């Protein structure tokens, strides 16, 4: 290919890929397969490698993240980034409306979700994304261009001519659906965990290495054009322009005719709040007409034509009265904050997690501190930080305990783990959780055997192992405080019933490290009995598609431990079902993978349905998989399945195949 042709070809590929990128990341509506997309990207990479002169800043190859920076440079915002006035009640919204009407007459409002992320300003020159900055203090922010480039929903080149030279503003956020998992991984790696998705977004944007940012699932909503080549008459029109230029604009934004309708919007959105995949902390009301906006003007701090209605806060400050140590099922010691009870977003909170001792030290949280507590991002309440200014000097730090607070064994801390553990397998705290876990709904589902009852059983010395549950009798149980004939009968009946729960639940209930519900089902669908499973080496287990090495190793270790084998033998003697009859059915020998959210079936029910019909369930895509059942918002498994050309089923098709529809 000569230089001229190459130049043309790079430009063509660039445009084509950018178009598909927009279809995928902004419109959520891809028109080619991932495989085809990858092929286009590969061709462009190859061409650019041969002709590096033709690499442009808007080339999709530039999204992967360049060299790490030494620090961020500060940039001046040509147009300052104002903040918004807040309203905490509908009365305040009505007052705002009165003021607006007095100065500008009747107005329409545009109501927008107030995205709880990090605000950014993006600058385009000649249609190309050239610079992006954080808000900073409103006058000056950090230049985070290299990081923003890695976010796929930010167009590297705008479409059309309205915003060729423009500054647009919006919010970068961290999707809630990936936040919990991300935090877990951070915790495992011994890296910082974030209190909420907003901090995760801010922390990601502050990363000096754009290649790390490229691995984070950041997304954007744009909501404001602060400067452009084109004049618009209304805010509504400017949002439309943002959308057609290729930006992601929030789909819930709505124009209303008056404050009453705006208040209805606020109420509706607060209801919907928990169903969204991004955090919102309120609603922004904006006067629609730009002429009226100009009439209203701005103070030095905020525009007079907009207001933020804030939802009930999910944060509160309170005193941290104590830090207690919880010993979990696997022996992990977790510091837990005991708080002066406080309302957080409508729920009374008196305990909050402090994650682990590294976090405790990093955040320097002490007993007696006033602390900021938060519920958000679908996780249990947590202590965000101490309010250092309120310290009196008598607050006490909590040291890492040398001994288990329950059994007194010396704790261990391995180098590769953040966790501090009690190594004593007989530790009453661990036994309690083990029984709790065994009896839990997804495991053996023993009704009437909650945490307090387990505590009592252990205290009385009635159970030392899980198997002892099955030797309990009426006389023993009647000695427990609060137990009468009826409650004893109920408990004994539930224990008896649990014997027939079946192999998958039993495997899960044993609490083998890394073996969750799903892994347990996979194992039960591959091996007909616990004895078969116990015989497998780690090596053999990794042959099961979707079972990771760590999990395989943990299973092998579990069954290599004498007391576990003892337990299993006892369970067999008791008559617990540890085998499954070989099932023949319409799905015999077929392997299934599920991805995305199903509408009418829970995952365990869907897996049950496969197994009942003789099929097997796997968690990873591979050539050996016969069917991939795809629900809402499927992830990379779907892409991979398409690439491999596997048979893809909708939930309904699956149900038909399994004879359940």
Binding stretches for ligand IVH (CB under 6 A):
82-84, 112, 114-115, 119, 135, 171, 223-224, 284, 303, 306, 308
**Residue with Cβ nearer ligand IVH (66 or 303):** 303
Q: Tell which residue, 152, 119, 122, has the closest CA to residue 135.
A: 119
Q: How far is CA 616 from CA 464, 590, 593, in A?
A: 36, 6, 9
- The distance of closest approach from Cβ of residue 166 to ligand IVH in the complex, given in angstroms and rounded to an integer, is 15
Rounded-to-integer distance, Cα 306 and Cα 293, Å: 9
Does residue 114 have an active-site annotation? Answer: yes
**Residue with Cβ nearer ligand IVH (218 or 308):** 308
C-alpha triplet 317, 320, 323: angle, nearest 5°: 145
**Residue with Cβ nearer ligand IVH (83 or 126):** 83
- The distance of closest approach from Cβ of residue 261 to ligand IVH in the complex, given in angstroms and rounded to an integer, is 17
φ, ψ (nearest 5 deg) of residue 428: -55, -35
Tokens of 482: 């609060």
Strands of the sheet with 280-287, listed across from one edge: 86-87, 306-310, 280-287, 109-115, 254-256
- The distance of closest approach from Cβ of residue 202 to ligand IVH in the complex, given in angstroms and rounded to an integer, is 11
**Residue with Cβ nearer ligand IVH (284 or 463):** 284
Token match 């660039």: residue?
Answer: 14
Radius of gyration of the chain (CA): 29
- The distance of closest approach from Cβ of residue 243 to ligand IVH in the complex, given in angstroms and rounded to an integer, is 14
| DSSP-assigned letter for residue 228 | -
- The distance of closest approach from Cβ of residue 370 to ligand IVH in the complex, given in angstroms and rounded to an integer, is 25
Q: Which residue's Cβ has the minimum distance to ligand IVH?
A: 119
**Residue with Cβ nearer ligand IVH (295 or 487):** 295
- The distance of closest approach from Cβ of residue 286 to ligand IVH in the complex, given in angstroms and rounded to an integer, is 7
**Residue with Cβ nearer ligand IVH (82 or 660):** 82
Token match 């337990």: residue?
Answer: 567
Q: How far is CA 178 from CA 192, 219, 475, 630, in A?
A: 16, 12, 50, 18
- The distance of closest approach from Cβ of residue 247 to ligand IVH in the complex, given in angstroms and rounded to an integer, is 13
* Strand partners of residue 315: 374
**Which candidate in 7, 114, 456, 572 is catalytic?**
114
**Residue with Cβ nearer ligand IVH (172 or 522):** 172
Q: Which residues contact 20 (CB under 8 A, 6 or more apart)?
A: 30, 31, 32, 37, 40
The terminus-to-terminus CA distance of the chain in angstroms comes to 56
Rounded-to-integer distance, Cα 264 and Cα 85, Å: 20
**Residue with Cβ nearer ligand IVH (115 or 552):** 115
Tokens of 315: 């944060």
Question: Which own/partner pairs from 134-138 qualify as long-range (CB within 8 Å, at least 24 positions apart)?
Answer: 134/205, 135/77, 135/81, 136/74, 136/77, 136/81, 138/77, 138/80, 138/81, 138/82, 138/83
- The distance of closest approach from Cβ of residue 268 to ligand IVH in the complex, given in angstroms and rounded to an integer, is 16
Rounded-to-integer distance, Cα 526 and Cα 518, Å: 13
Would you name the residues annotated as active-site residues? 114
């Amino acid at each position: 290919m000569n230089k001229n042709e190459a130049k043309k070809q790079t430009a063509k590929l660039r445009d084509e890929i950018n178009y598909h990128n927009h279809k995928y990341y902004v419109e959520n509506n891809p028109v080619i397969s991932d495989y085809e997309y990858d092929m286009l990207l590969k061709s462009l990479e190859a061409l650019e490698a041969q002709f590096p002169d033709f690499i442009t800043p808007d080339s999709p190859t530039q999204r992967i993240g360049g060299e790490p920076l030494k620090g961020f440079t500060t940039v001046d915002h040509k147009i300052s980034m104002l903040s918004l006035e807040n309203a905490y009640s509908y009365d305040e919204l009505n007052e705002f409306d009165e003021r607006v009407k007095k100065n500008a007459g009747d107005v329409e409002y545009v109501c927008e979700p107030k995205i709880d992320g990090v605000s950014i300003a993006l600058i385009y020159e000649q249609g190309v994304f050239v610079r992006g900055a954080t808000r900073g203090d409103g006058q000056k922010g950090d230049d985070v261009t290299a990081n923003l480039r890695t976010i796929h929903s930010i167009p590297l080149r705008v479409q059309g001519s309205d915003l060729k030279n423009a500054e647009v503003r919006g919010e970068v956020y961290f999707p809630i659906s990936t936040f919990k998992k991300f935090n877990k991984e951070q915790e495992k790696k011994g890296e910082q965990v974030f209190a909420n998705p907003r901090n995760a977004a801010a922390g990601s944007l502050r990363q000096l290495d754009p290649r790390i940012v490229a691995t984070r699932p950041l997304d954007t909503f744009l909501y404001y054009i602060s400067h452009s080549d084109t004049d618009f008459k209304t805010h509504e029109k400017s949002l439309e322009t943002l959308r057609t230029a290729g930006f992601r604009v929030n789909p819930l934004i709505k124009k209303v005719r008056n404050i009453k309708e705006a208040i209805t919007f606020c109420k509706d959105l607060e209801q919907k709040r928990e169903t969204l995949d991004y955090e919102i902390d309120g609603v922004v009301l904006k006067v629609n007409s730009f002429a009226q906006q100009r009439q209203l003007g701005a103070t030095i701090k905020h525009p007079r034509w907009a207001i933020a209605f804030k939802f009930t806060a999910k944060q509160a400050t309170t005193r941290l009265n104590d830090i207690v140590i919880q010993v979990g099922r696997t022996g992990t010691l977790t510091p837990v904050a005991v708080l002066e009870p406080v309302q957080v977003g409508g729920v009374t909170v008196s305990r909050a997690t402090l994650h682990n001792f590294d976090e405790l030290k990093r955040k320097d949280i002490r007993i007696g501190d006033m602390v900021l507590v938060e519920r958000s991002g679908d996780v249990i309440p947590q202590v965000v930080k101490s309010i250092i200014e309120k310290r009196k000097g008598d607050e006490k730090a909590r040291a890492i305990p040398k001994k288990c607070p329950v059994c007194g064994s010396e704790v261990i801390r391995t180098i590769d783990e953040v966790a501090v553990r009690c190594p004593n397998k007989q530790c009453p705290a661990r036994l309690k959780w083990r029984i709790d876990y065994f009896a839990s709904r997804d495991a053996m589902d023993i009704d009437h055997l909650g945490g307090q009852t387990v505590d009592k059983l252990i205290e009385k010395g009635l159970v030392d192992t899980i198997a002892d549950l099955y030797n309990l009798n009426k006389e023993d149980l009647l000695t427990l405080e609060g137990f009468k004939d009826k409650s004893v009968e109920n408990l004994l009946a539930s224990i008896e019933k649990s014997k027939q729960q079946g192999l998958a639940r039993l495997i899960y209930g044993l609490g083998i490290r890394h073996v969750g519900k799903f892994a347990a089902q996979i194992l039960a669908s591959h091996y007909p009995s616990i004895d078969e499973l116990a015989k497998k080496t780690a090596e053999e287990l990794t042959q099961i598609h979707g079972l990771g090495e760590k999990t395989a190793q943990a299973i092998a270790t579990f069954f290599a431990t004498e007391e576990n084998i003892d337990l299993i033998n006892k369970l067999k003697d008791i008559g617990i079902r540890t085998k499954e009859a070989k099932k023949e059915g319409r799905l015999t020998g077929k392997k299934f993978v599920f991805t995305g959210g199903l509408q009418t079936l829970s995952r365990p029910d869907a897996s049950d349905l496969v197994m009942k019909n003789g099929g097997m369930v796997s968690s990873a895509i591979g050539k050996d998989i016969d069917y991939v059942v795809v629900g809402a918002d499927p992830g990379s498994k779907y892409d991979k399945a398409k690439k491999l050309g596997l048979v893809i089923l909708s939930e309904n098709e699956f149900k038909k195949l399994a004879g359940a529809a």
